[in-house]
């Protein structure tokens, strides 16, 4: 499909939806490389991240966003929702993602924000492989079309990569004729330091589950190449002493496992050996402190 175009096409495509609908999983599969972290825990994605797919004459700049959520009042939560609003205001296309046939108050609020934009919107119904009764899909699509005039409706499974190629081909048809913004082989706009911090945070989220609240952040203190080896030191911030104890684990066992798993992902992405050191520090109230959030890369 993409090879059929004679002129280069390029545009930004925002992936938006409430937490845990599969935005980051879909992004990684479309790009063909893990650039956005994933977990079963809501709000794993905190900042916008671009994943770049260049194929044929088209360059698609996917923009992964945090999950839109209601009921949280901390600066961090408000900032995540603000990121979504700012993103959809200036993109070529919006992928509004839902989890199977679930549609709730957060979806309604997000659609209200999207309605203020002029961009075409696709309804992407994810996790169709988990639908017990697929006959309910068409009635759900009919109901969704009464809520918004979607340019396209695409049911798929990001995890099983069902219908993702069809989504990509359809996206390309909506891209404007433009020169490419990034080199053909570039996969993301984020640098290696950012990705290293995110890989550590992903492993913390997966290891800790519900034991550790959302008040955990990772800051890279050292990132250097010596003798073909990346030497990376990461500081993990938590808000209470008890969280620090849980994160370290008995005799440091849990922190060691987090480091091992994060290092493996880094070595796959950076294609070289990585020496990773982790520290844990208590910094009370960082998630509700604008100055602390700015130091961690948030645009407050």
CB distance 194 to 297 below 8 Å: yes
Which band of pLDDT confidence, cut at 50, 70 and 90, is reported for residue 274?
very high
Whole-number average pLDDT of the chain? 88
Better-scored residue on pLDDT, 299 or 173: 173
Which band of pLDDT confidence, cut at 50, 70 and 90, is reported for residue 2?
very low
**Cβ count near 145 (within 10 Å):** 12
Which band of pLDDT confidence, cut at 50, 70 and 90, is reported for residue 138?
very high
Query: Among 293, 281, 247, which Cα is nearest to 77's?
Result: 293
Report which listed range, 39-43, 63-67, 83-87, 225-229, is most confident.
225-229
What's the pTM value of the predicted model, to 2 decimals? 0.80
Number of residues that make up the chain: 300
pLDDT in tens, 142-198: 999 999 999 999 999 999 999 999 999 999 999 999 999 999 999 999 899 999 999
The pLDDT value recorded for residue 70 is 75
The pLDDT value recorded for residue 299 is 60
What is the DSSP track for the chain?
A: -GGG-SS-EEEEEEEE-STTSSHHHHHHHHHTS--S---SSTT---S-EEEEEEETTEEEEEEE-PPP--S--SHHHHHHHHHHHHHHTT-SEEEEEEETT---HHHHHHHHHHTTS-S-EEEEEE-GGG-S-GGGHHHHHHHHHHH---SEEEE-BTTTTBSHHHHHHHHHHHS-B---SS-TT--BSS-HHHHHHHHHHHHHHHHHTTSS-S--EEEEEEEEEETTEEEEEEEEEESSHHHHHHHH-GGGHHHHHHHHHHHHHHHHHHTSEEEEEEEEEE-TTGGG-HHHHHHTT---
What is the DSSP track for 220-243?
A: EEEEEEETTEEEEEEEEEESSHHH
CA–CA dist 147, 125 (Å, integer): 15
Dihedral pair phi/psi, residue 152, rounded to 5° = -150, 155
CA–CA dist 59, 189 (Å, integer): 13
Which band of pLDDT confidence, cut at 50, 70 and 90, is reported for residue 37?
confident
Rg over CA atoms, the chain: 20
pLDDT in tens, 183-241: 999 999 989 999 999 999 899 988 887 666 566 889 999 999 999 999 999 999 998 89
Ordered structural domains, the chain, with CATH? 2-174 (3.40.50.300), 192-295 (3.30.300.20)
CB distance 236 to 218 below 8 Å: yes
Which band of pLDDT confidence, cut at 50, 70 and 90, is reported for residue 285?
confident
The pLDDT value recorded for residue 207 is 85
pLDDT for residue 36 is more than 70:
yes
The pLDDT value recorded for residue 1 is 43
- As beta bridge partners, residue 222 has 233
Query: Among 63, 69, 61, which Cα is nearest to 21's?
Result: 69
Mean pLDDT of 13-40: 89
pLDDT for residue 293 is more than 70:
no
The pLDDT value recorded for residue 72 is 63
Better-scored residue on pLDDT, 68 or 25: 25
Q: What percent of the chain has pLDDT over 70?
A: 86
CA–CA dist 46, 65 (Å, integer): 7
pLDDT in tens, 230-273: 999 999 999 889 999 999 999 999 999 999 999 999 999 899 99
Q: CA dihedral defined by 107, 68, 284, 220, rounded to 10 degrees? A: 150
CA–CA dist 169, 166 (Å, integer): 5
Q: What percent of the chain has pLDDT over 90?
A: 65
Query: Among 61, 57, 92, 23, which Cα is nearest to 190's?
Result: 61
């Amino acid at each position: 499909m993409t090879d059929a175009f004679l002129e280069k096409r390029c545009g930004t495509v925002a992936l938006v939806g409430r937490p845990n609908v599969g935005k980051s999983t879909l992004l990684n599969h479309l790009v063909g490389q893990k650039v956005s972290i994933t977990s079963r825990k809501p709000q794993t994605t905190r900042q916008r991240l671009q994943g770049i797919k260049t194929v044929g004459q088209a360059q698609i700049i996917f923009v992964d966003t945090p999950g839109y959520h209601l009921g949280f009042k901390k600066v961090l939560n408000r900032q995540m929702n603000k990121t979504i609003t700012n993103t959809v205001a200036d993109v070529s296309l919006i992928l509004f993602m839902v989890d199977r046939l679930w549609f709730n108050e957060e979806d309604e609020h997000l659609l209200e924000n999207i309605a203020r934009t002029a961009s075409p919107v696709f309804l992407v119904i994810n996790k169709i492989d988990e639908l017990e009764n697929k006959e309910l899909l068409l009635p759900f699509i009919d109901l969704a079309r009464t809520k918004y005039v979607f340019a396209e409706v695409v049911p798929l499974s990001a995890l099983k990569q069902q219908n993702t190629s069809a989504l990509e081909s359809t996206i390309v048809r909506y891209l404007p004729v433009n020169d490419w913004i990034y080199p053909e082989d570039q996969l993301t706009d984020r640098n290696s330091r950012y990705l290293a911090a995110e890989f550590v945070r992903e492993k913390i989220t997966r290891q800790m589950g519900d034991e550790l609240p959302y008040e955990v952040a990772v800051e890279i203190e050292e990132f250097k190449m010596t003798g073909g080896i990346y030497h990376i030191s990461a500081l993990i911030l938590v808000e209470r002493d008890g969280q620090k104890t849980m994160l370290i684990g008995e005799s440091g066992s849990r922190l060691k496992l987090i480091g091992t798993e994060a290092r493996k992902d880094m070595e796959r992405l950076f294609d070289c050996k990585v020496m990773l050191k982790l520290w844990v520090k208590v910094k009370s109230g960082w998630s509700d402190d604008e100055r602390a959030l700015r130091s961690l890369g948030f645009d407050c």
